[in-house]
Chains A and B, each alone.
Chain A
Amino acid sequence: MISFQGITKIYPAYAGCLMTVALEDVSFGIKPKEFVSIVGRSGAGKTTLLRLLLAEEKPTQGQIFFDSIDIHQLKLGELPQLRRKIGAVFQDYKLLPNKTAYENIAYVMEVIGFSDREIKRDVPEVLEIVGLKDKANNFLAGLSGGERQRVAIARALIHRPEVILADEPTGNLDPYHTLDIIRLLLKIQEMGTTVILATHNREIINRLGKRVITLEKGKIIRDEEKGRFIL
């Protein structure tokens, strides 16, 4: 369903920083309904990988296919169609600051063109799932880091995307909520969604017993079907 073919991403030297090789000749495929974890130290290239898949950035070399479409050949006007199939939880949340928790989640449904009735039905439900029912009308400023992260997760799920990209979705959560979220991701995957999870939480990875791709300095050093967190 998704395949990375010989992906290299180099950030050019800029304002005194040296040239950075974020990914080097990375190739792998992901089957539909698979649960894949990507692990590695900070700076190993996890986030870059997800950014490339969302076409937020272009690879220096190589191709990425999504349902046999080369996504970096898509025009700017065609990208929204691709992105609507993907639900992303960003490391820095990327929530809309001038909107409430409810509106942030509803926005994605509006973008896709769900009716007001469907929005009114689904959003409270998903807020309930992530445990933020009574914070629905809080603006971002009135939410804690963990709460924001859960809003971001809710936003990624709401439109039942084909793929969920989760970049450190539990980075700001206490162990109790962490477990909840991971269970939620597993449940979603069981219901037929592909999940790509980037994390450096050893405990989660070891407990999952799913496929693990380990990155180090931009290269894949391990890709195991029932992987463990080994660095």
Chain B
Amino acid sequence: MGWTTFRRDGELALATLFILVIAISVVTTLFLFREMSNFLTSALQEKVDVSVYFKESVTETEILDLKEELAKMEEIREVSYVSQDQAYKDFVERHEDEEIIMESLEEIGENPFLASLNIKAWKTSQYGTISTFLEHPSFETLIEKVDYFQRKPVIERIFSLTGAINGVGVLFSIILVIVAVLVTFNTIRLAIYNSREEIKIQRLVGAGNWFIRGPFLIQGVMAGILASLICLAIFGLTSWIVSPKIEFFFPGLNLFNIFTENLGLIFLLQFLAGISLGIISSLIAIRKYLKV
């Protein structure tokens, strides 16, 4: 019976469907954005590290001892040793094509690089603690410099940026979801307002409340299912098309992969969003017309 009314009320059903598609799209977009920003922030944080440069007089064993000690600190995720030779090789590799730099390097005649330990923390906020530890006077004889203080502004900016992205994201998501829910609710309310006479008549000929609600709920569910299917198709297609372009700007970020990996979750999300919006809005909107 719900289907018949759905078909006969074509225009209104189409409007409801359209609004539902938009609402579900908003939810899906937010989900994908969250996945993408998670990926980006973790990629960004991955790039952050702190290097400790040792005085030329310090021996390799002393450095490796310190490395052992550092590895025990719970803030530290990873410590890697870069010897003087390794640093030289890395530098040459990076600047092979730049003649001026290579020439000036040769002019120096000896290896100007210092041995270093490269430290990665779990969280950006932990770099402060680590460098304070390394600044301790007992290390003064060993350590030439810790580059945290040169890089501090960059690290902090990344730190505050990822924080801000998450904060704004959450706020934005909440606002968008509220707007989507309200718009959907209002559209369904209008659709049911349109049927208020019909509902009154049904009451007057003795129909029980669930008998009256039934077709509206079925309509709501059908609109929800249809809308979520449409959204799934739209998002599948767009992410497939847009994905290479995004990957061009952010290497390693594959939107289509994110989409397919989370397909089940996305489908569930869309389904739940569509159906619950349809059902709950219908139930609330119909309530006052049943009081005859």
Contact = CB atoms under 8 A, between A and B. Distances in A.
On whether the two chains bind one another, the answer is: yes
A76 B288 CA distance: 12
Contacts of B203: 79-80, 83
B35 interface: no
- Chain B residues touching A, range: 10 to 19
A82 B204 CA distance: 10
Interface string B191-235: 000000110111111111101000000000000000000000000
B279 to A, nearest CB: 21
B198 A155 contact: no
B94 interface: no
Given A95-B201, A97-B198, A98-B198, A76 B290 contact: yes
B9 A88 contact: no
A56 interface: yes
Contacts of B292: 56
B205 A107 contact: yes
A110 B214 CA distance: 13
Contacts of B290: 76
A98 B5 contact: yes
A123 to B, nearest CB: 14
B8 interface: yes
Contact of B202 (A86, A88, A90, A96): A96
B5 A80 contact: no
Contacts of A107: 202, 205, 207
Nearest to B201: A94
A84 interface: yes
A79 B200 CA distance: 13
B207 A80 contact: yes
A107 B198 CA distance: 12
A110 B9 CA distance: 21
A13 interface: no
A155 B205 contact: yes
A82 B207 CA distance: 11
Interface string A33-63: 0000000000000000000001010000000
A84 B206 contact: yes
Q: Kindly name the residue among B202, B205, B290 whose own CB sees the greatest number of chain A CB atoms within 10 A.
A: B205
Contacts of B136: none
B89 interface: no
Given A76-B290, A98-B8, A98-B9, A111 B206 contact: yes
Contact of A77 (B9, B207, B209, B211): B209
A191 B207 CA distance: 26
Contact of A83 (B197, B204, B209): B204
Contact of B204 (A76, A88, A97): A88
A112 B206 contact: yes
Contact of B207 (A76, A88, A97, A111): A111
A108 interface: yes
Interface in B8-56: 8-9
B205 A111 contact: yes
A110 B205 CA distance: 11
5 contacts: A88-B204, A98-B5, A108-B206, A111-B205, A111-B206
Given A107-B205, A110-B211, 7 more contacts: A79-B203, A80-B203, A83-B205, A84-B206, A94-B197, A94-B201, A111-B206
